[in-house]
Amino acid sequence: MKPLQASSGDLNVDRRADYAEMLHADGDHAAAAELLLGALELTPQWAMGWFRLGEMQQAAGAPDLAAQAWTMSLQLDPTDRQGAALNLQLMGKAPESGTLPSTFVETLFDHYADSFDESLVDGLGYRLPELLAQAIRTARPDRFPLALDLGCGTGLMGQRLRPIVDRLEGYDISARMLKQARAKGIYDVLGKADLRDFSYTGPKAGLVTVADVFIYIGALDGVVKTVAGLLAGDGLFAFSVESLAGDGDFVLQPSRRYAHSQHYVRENLSAHGFSILSLETTVIRQDRREPVNGLVVVAGKLPAV
């Protein structure tokens, strides 16, 4: 994938953009936006610049101007690696899509791969792999011949699975996250794949894990159906979601992550032949020093009729 164009390609414009960033960091958002807008008049094809302008204008209390900037960013980069469409959705300026752009998710994790473990575990108190592993062991203390870790990232979940599986395969959308996972030497197979159109021709798995991945996918029907097809008749499906406290099935939050309601999770599992073996509400991480509540779920396939 082509990397984000963090530079405008024009040294003078980059200097103005850097100064705008300084003003923005000091809290003078309006002046920052004005300076960056002037710079963009010289490099109007700089998608990242327009996206950053939208963030500055939003901080300055000019949502309509922010929406215009994000619309321009999206026009210049229809793959939307910046996530402009998500910001427009949150403002009510674009229809809800039910999922995050794949290129945005890939870019996000490619960017954070090198510092991901340290930031998530040490900085945010991330404990989901431990919680999921405990739930799996409680549901079935036996070993699994094959486990598929979908959205494996750097291998935090895989490290917990390795002692209880004979063969462990991991798949992720980010090549740089896979590089980090490969260095740990815990997977038998690693592959680059998008969970939303995941295709697998190997044997049926005894366990499929999807740890902290559904926060990037709102509508779960297609993915749950895919997982059902990956599992052996007595297979387990272990996953997590962020909890939706209000009404509805799922909601895109200001964090640009999805939260799902418990009733929506239950309905999707039932619709694709799963029974819930355990469902626990717990704190899965911190975000801006606030606890993030989630659901840790283990489900089993119902016997074929």
Residues 148 and 279 placed together within one structural domain of the fold: yes
Quick: pLDDT tens for 29-81. 999 999 999 999 999 999 999 999 999 999 999 999 999 999 999 999 999 99
Read off the pLDDT of each residue in 204-218 and give the average, rounded to a whole number. 95
Q: Final residue of a domain: which of 49, 66, 95?
A: 95
Task: List Cα–Cα distances, 59 to 20, 25, 35, 41, 103, in angstroms.
Answer: 13, 11, 14, 21, 25
Residues 69 and 198 placed together within one structural domain of the fold: no
Number of domains in the chain: 2
Residues 89 and 136 placed together within one structural domain of the fold: no
Which of 36-50, 130-144, 276-290 is the least confident region?
276-290
Indicate which CATH number applies to the domain containing 49. Answer: 1.25.40.10
Indicate which CATH number applies to the domain containing 199. Answer: 3.40.50.150
**Domain annotation covers residue 21:** yes
100: three-class secondary structure by DSSP = coil
Residue type, 230: L
**Domain annotation covers residue 64:** yes
Q: Is there a contact between 299 and 275 (Cβ–Cβ < 8 Å)?
A: yes
Residues 142 and 272 placed together within one structural domain of the fold: yes
Residues 37 and 125 placed together within one structural domain of the fold: no
pLDDT exceeding 90 applies to what percent of the chain?
A: 77
**Domain annotation covers residue 107:** no
Q: Final residue of a domain: which of 27, 61, 95?
A: 95
Residues 67 and 131 placed together within one structural domain of the fold: no
**Domain annotation covers residue 2:** no
The pLDDT score that the predictor gives to residue 263 is: 95
The pLDDT score that the predictor gives to residue 123 is: 66
Q: Final residue of a domain: which of 95, 130, 157?
A: 95
pLDDT exceeding 70 applies to what percent of the chain?
A: 96
Q: Number of helices (H) and strands (E) in the chain: give both, helices first.
A: 13, 9
The pLDDT score that the predictor gives to residue 286 is: 79
Residues 184 and 290 placed together within one structural domain of the fold: yes
- The answer for residues whose C-beta is within 8 angstroms of residue 108's C-beta and 6 or more apart is 83
β-partners of residue 213 are none
**Domain annotation covers residue 105:** no
Quick: pLDDT tens for 1-14. 333 457 778 888 89
Question: Can you spell out the DSSP letters for 208-255?
Answer: EEE-S-GGGBS--HHHHHHHHHHEEEEEEEEEEEEEP-SSSSEEE-TT
The pLDDT score that the predictor gives to residue 1 is: 34
Residues 169 and 281 placed together within one structural domain of the fold: yes
pLDDT surpasses 60 at 121: yes
Read off the pLDDT of each residue in 261-267 and give the average, rounded to a whole number. 96
Residues 31 and 68 placed together within one structural domain of the fold: yes
**Domain annotation covers residue 118:** yes
User: Band of the pLDDT at 246, cuts 50, 70, 90?
Assistant: confident
**Domain annotation covers residue 6:** no
Residues 272 and 143 placed together within one structural domain of the fold: yes
The pLDDT score that the predictor gives to residue 3 is: 39
End-to-end CA distance of the chain: 45
The better pLDDT of the pair 291, 34 is held by 34
**Domain annotation covers residue 108:** no
The pLDDT score that the predictor gives to residue 304 is: 52
The pLDDT score that the predictor gives to residue 305 is: 41
Read off the pLDDT of each residue in 209-225 and give the average, rounded to a whole number. 95
| 43, containing H or E segment | none
What angle separates helix 47-59 from helix 63-76, to the nearest 10 degrees?
170
Residues 83 and 134 placed together within one structural domain of the fold: no
**Residue 160 belongs to domain spanning:** 113-301
Residues 44 and 167 placed together within one structural domain of the fold: no
Q: Of 65-69, 105-109, 245-249, where does the model show the most confidence?
A: 65-69
- The answer for residues whose C-beta is within 8 angstroms of residue 74's C-beta and 6 or more apart is 80, 84, 85, 88
